[in-house]
Amino acid sequence: MKNAFVKNILCIGAGYVGGPTMAMIAYKCPQYKVTVVDINHERIAQWNSDLLPVYEPGLGEIVGAVRGRNLFFDTDIDRCIKEASIIFVAVNTPTKVFGAGAGMAADLQYWEKTARQIREAAGSPKIVIEKCTIPVKTALAMERILTSKEGSVSFDVISNPEFLAEGTAMRDLEFPDRVLIGSRETAQGIRARREIADIYANWVPKERIIESNIWSSELSKLVANAFLAQRISSINAVSALCEKTDADVQEVARAIGLDSRLGSKFLNASVGFGGSCFKKDILNLVYLCRSYGLNEVADYWESVVKINEYQKDRFVLTMLSAMFNTLAGKKIALFGFAFKADTGDTRETPALYVAKSIVEERAELVITDPQALRNAMADLDGVDNITYEIDPYKAAAGCDAIALMTEWKLYTGLDYERIYASMMKPAFIFDGRNVLDRKRLFEIGFNVFSIGKTPMVHV
Ligand code: NAD
Ligand code: UGA
C-alpha cells in the first residue's frame, strides 16, 4: 500500500541535533513521514528504546507521541535516501585532529561521505539541507560532489543552520527566535528554500522564518556562535578584574545588561564555556579568516577562545592558592560535570579540565552529576583517583572542598549545613557558576570563592 504522507523527510545523523529537530518536525507535521538514520546502529537502537541517547527536557514525551506514527529511526540509509524527497544532513563536523588545519579547521569527512552516499543512492531529485554547522562555501563543494556523476538527478542544496541550545532544545525548536534558510538566488534555489520554509510554517510564525543567500546563511551560524561565546569571554575577562578590585561581576553584568543596546542575556560569568560547538566553531571561523589572509580578524576571534582557556586555568589556580598551595592528599567533590545544566552532554565541559588538573595535583576526586556520570566516566577513563557518586551528600562527605561546575538547580536547594558538618575543616566551596547563596554558606562556616567576587574567608 502506498503511504498517505504528503512528504518523506529524511535526516542523516541521529545526534543531539538530528533526533530532537526531527522529533519536533514530526510532532508538528503529522502529514509528513520523518525518518532519522545513522551509521551508528547502537544509537538508532537507543532512539527506538525507552532510554533515548540524548537527555533533553521534554524530548521523551514528544518522541513517545510520534515514534511509530510518523517518526522512524532506521539503519538502512540507502533505502531511506531513495524514498525521501527532502534530506537534512546533521552529521558531526568536529575540529580536525590531523593534517592541514589540525586543531582549527572543521573535519568534513562525515559530511562528505554523506554527500557521496546521497549521490549514489538518490535515484530521483532531492533537496539536500545542510543542518550541520559547516564553513562558509561548503554548499559549493556539496553541489560539486552531488552533481559529479554522469546522468545524475537534480539536487538543490539549502543551508538551514540549527540554533538550538542543549538543555532547552525542545523549547528552542518549538519557539525559535528565527529559522534561517539560505539558497542559491536562482528561481530553482528560491523554490527549494520556500519548500523548506513551508515545513517550518506549520508552527513557526512567518515573520520568524527568514531567507537569505546561501553564503550568508552558512556564515551566520558561525558568527552567531562566535558572538555568543564572545559575550561570555567578555564578562569572564571582566570577572578577573572584579576579583582584583572588589567589584562584583554580577552587579556589573546587571548594570550593563539593562542597557537595551547590550541586553541582559549571556552575561553570566563562569568557569568557562563548554559544549561541542563554541570552541570548534570559533576555531573554524579563525581558520577561515586566516585562509583568506585576514590575520587581524582571525586574531580577534581567537582571543575569545584564549580567554576561555585562561578562565578555566584561573579557576584551578584560585583553588590551589586558597587551599594553602597544595591539593595533594586532599579530597575534592565536583558538583556537576555536564557543560551546562539540563543535559548529560560533557563535550568540552570545563569540568574535564578542572578534574584533570585536580588529579594532577594529586588530590582525590569525587564527581557527582544527576545526568552526566556515564559520560564523565568515559571522558576520564584510565584516570586514577576518581570516584563517581550520584548523591551529592555522599560525594561531599569527608571532602576538603566542593567545586561547583554545573548550575543544576538541585545544587542550590541542598542542605549545606548538613554538607558542612560532613566535610573536613577548613571547608572550601568554589562556585564556578555563581549560583549558590554565598553569604549563607559563609555563615555556615565555608570559605567561599565565587567568580568575579571578593572571596569570603574565615581567618
Ligand atoms: P552528534 O555527534 O551528536 O551526532 C552526529 C551523528 O551523525 C552521529 O550519531 C554520527 O554517528 C552520525 N554520522 C556521522 N557520519 C555519518 C554518516 N556518514 N551517515 C550517517 N550518520 C552519520 O552531533 P550533533 O551535536 O548532533 O551536531 C551535529 C551538527 O549540528 C554539528 O555540525 C554541530 O556543530 C551542529 N549543531 C549542534 C548543536 C548542539 O547543540 N549539539 C546545535 C546546533 C548545531
Ligand atoms: C550554543 C548556542 O547557544 C546555540 O544557539 C547553538 O545552536 C549551539 O551552541 C550549537 O551550535 O551547538 P549550547 O552550547 O548547547 O548552545 O549551550 P549554551 O547555552 O550556549 O551554553 C554554552 C556554554 O556557555 C555552556 O557551558 C554555558 O554554561 C556557558 N555559558 C552560557 C556561560 O558560561 N555564561 C552564560 O552567560 C551563558
Is the CB of residue 108 below 6 angstroms from any atom belonging to ligand 1?
Answer: no
pLDDT digits over 377-406, tens only? 999 999 999 999 999 999 999 999 999 999
CA angle 57, 58, 62 (to 5 degrees): 150
Mean pLDDT of the 177-191 span: 97
Count H helices, E strands: the chain?
Answer: 17, 14
pLDDT digits over 221-249, tens only? 999 999 999 999 999 999 999 999 999 99
Is the CB of residue 268 below 6 angstroms from any atom belonging to ligand 2?
Answer: yes
Is the CB of residue 427 below 6 angstroms from any atom belonging to ligand 2?
Answer: no
Q: Is the pLDDT of residue 367 over 80?
A: yes
DSSP class of residue 39 equals: S
Cα 160 to ligand 1 centroid, rounded to whole Å:
14
Is the CB of residue 406 below 6 angstroms from any atom belonging to ligand 2?
Answer: no
Catalytic residue among 11, 132, 242, 277: 277
Cα 47 to ligand 1 centroid, rounded to whole Å:
14
Asked if 269 contacts 239 with a C-beta cutoff of 8 angstroms, the reply is yes
Measured from the alpha carbon of residue 343, the closest ligand is 2
Extended strands (E) in 197-284: 209-213
CA contacts within 13 A on the Cβ side of 231:
15
Is the CB of residue 414 below 6 angstroms from any atom belonging to ligand 1?
Answer: no
Which residue has the CA at smallest separation from atom 12 of ligand 2? 277
Is the CB of residue 223 below 6 angstroms from any atom belonging to ligand 2?
Answer: no
Q: Is the pLDDT of residue 126 over 90?
A: yes
**Per the structure block, which three cell numbers stand in for 252?**
556589573
Measured from the alpha carbon of residue 339, the closest ligand is 2
**pLDDT for residue 1:** 46
**pLDDT for residue 459:** 85
pLDDT digits over 10-57, tens only? 999 999 999 999 999 999 999 999 999 999 999 999 999 999 999 899
Cα 371 to ligand 1 centroid, rounded to whole Å:
20
**How far are the Cα atoms of 166, 191, 336 from residue 343, in angstroms, in the given order?**
6, 37, 11
Q: Is the pLDDT of residue 2 over 70?
A: no
d(CA 377, CA 358): 16
Asked if 436 contacts 406 with a C-beta cutoff of 8 angstroms, the reply is no
Is the CB of residue 118 below 6 angstroms from any atom belonging to ligand 1?
Answer: no
Is the CB of residue 80 below 6 angstroms from any atom belonging to ligand 1?
Answer: no
With a CB cutoff of 8 Å and minimum separation 6, the contacts of 370 are 390, 408, 410
Is the CB of residue 139 below 6 angstroms from any atom belonging to ligand 2?
Answer: no
Asked if 115 contacts 145 with a C-beta cutoff of 8 angstroms, the reply is yes
d(CA 101, CA 195): 36
d(CA 422, CA 434): 23
Nearest residue to 267 (alpha-carbon basis) of 238, 321, 215, 231: 231
Mean pLDDT of the 273-296 span: 96
Q: Which atom of ligand 1 is nearest to the CA of 169?
A: 40
d(CA 230, CA 216): 20
Q: Which atom of ligand 2 is nearest to the CA of 164?
A: 7
With a CB cutoff of 8 Å and minimum separation 6, the contacts of 324 are none
| Residue type, position 58, single letter | G
Nearest residue to 88 (alpha-carbon basis) of 177, 20, 41, 136: 20
| Annotated catalytic residue 80 | no
Task: Describe the crossing of helices 138-146 and 214-245 by its angle, rounded to 10 degrees.
Answer: 150
Cα 16 to ligand 1 centroid, rounded to whole Å:
7
**Per the structure block, which three cell numbers stand in for 362?**
594529586
Measured from the alpha carbon of residue 92, the closest ligand is 1
Mean pLDDT of the 408-429 span: 98
Cα 14 to ligand 1 centroid, rounded to whole Å:
7
Calculate the dihedral angle through the C-alpha atoms of 238, 241, 247, 250, rounding to the nearest 10 degrees: 30
**pLDDT for residue 3:** 65
* DSSP H/E element including 47: helix 41-47
**pLDDT for residue 105:** 87
CA contacts within 13 A on the Cβ side of 289:
18
For cell 568540552, name the residue.
Answer: 348
Which residue has the CA at smallest separation from atom 2 of ligand 1? 92
d(CA 66, CA 13): 18
Cα 42 to ligand 2 centroid, rounded to whole Å:
27
Which residue has the CA at smallest separation from atom 4 of ligand 1? 15
Mean pLDDT of the 65-77 span: 98
How many CB atoms are closer than 10 A to CB 177?
A: 9
DSSP class of residue 306 equals: H
d(CA 256, CA 150): 59
Is the CB of residue 164 below 6 angstroms from any atom belonging to ligand 2?
Answer: yes
Measured from the alpha carbon of residue 93, the closest ligand is 1
- State percent of the chain over pLDDT 70: 99
- State percent of the chain over pLDDT 90: 94
d(CA 20, CA 14): 9
With a CB cutoff of 8 Å and minimum separation 6, the contacts of 350 are 270, 271, 272, 273, 274, 311, 312, 315, 339, 405, 432
Cross-strand bridge partners of residue 88: 11, 129
Phi/psi of residue 312, nearest 5 degrees: -65, -45
| Residue type, position 5, single letter | F
**Strand 331-335 relative to strand 401-404, pairing:** parallel
How remote is the C-alpha of 314 from its chain's centroid? 23
Q: Quick one: 265 exposed, middle or buried, by C-beta within 10 A (0-12, 13-18, 19+)?
A: exposed
Q: Which atom of ligand 2 is nearest to the CA of 350?
A: 26
